[in-house]
A = this chain, B = another copy of it.
Amino acid sequence: MAHLTSAEAADLLERFRHYLREHRLPVTQQRDLIATAIFTAPDHLTAAAVHQRLARQGKRIGIATVYRTLDLLVESGLIRLHEFGDGFRRYEGAAPQGSHGHLVCGVCGGVEEFTNERLERMLPIIADEHHFRYRTHRVELHGTCRACQQRTLEGL
């Protein structure tokens, strides 16, 4: 999600702790830090990016712990996993209010977000038409972002 407010991040962290207690799992420093790193990130992070982000704050956490905690966060539904086709798994905090689509630029590899109410309303209906029980969706539009279009026009 494009930069959650600190209140939203705090809420997600509290929900993660609740999830852990509910499942009789220890609430550790590492889990708090990893969850917070994702909830406060402005964009979609890879596992390595989470690890670096924490290292830059002086928090040395094993990469294995990062992966294990990311799994927990995905299972709890508090973060979402994406694979945009470049071989990296990326994670982002789950939006409290709803989902969004992604605009993936084939030139610079950047990913922007968009929301569209009509689309959001449509997708569960389509699932239903195919007797498929809807849980969530993923919409990616691939093409060229505005900046790269202009860069191409300028002949660089």
Contacts and interface: CB of A to CB of B under 8 A. Distances in A.
Interface of A: 81, 83, 85, 101, 103, 105-106, 112, 114, 116, 118-119, 122-123, 126-127, 129-146, 149
Contacts of A144: 132-133, 135
Contacts of A134: 141, 143
Contacts of A85: 81, 83
A134 B146 CA distance: 11
Given A118-B122, A119-B122, A137 B127 contact: no
B143 A132 contact: yes
A143 B127 contact: yes
A23 B81 CA distance: 37
A133 B140 contact: no
A138 B142 contact: yes
Nearest to A83: B83
A110 to B, nearest CB: 11
27 contacts: A81-B85, A83-B83, A101-B126, A103-B130, A103-B132, A112-B130, A114-B129, A118-B122, A119-B119, A119-B122, A122-B122, A123-B141, A127-B143, A130-B146, A132-B141, A132-B143, A132-B145, A132-B146, A133-B143, A133-B144, A133-B145, A135-B142, A135-B143, A136-B142, A136-B143, A137-B140, A139-B139
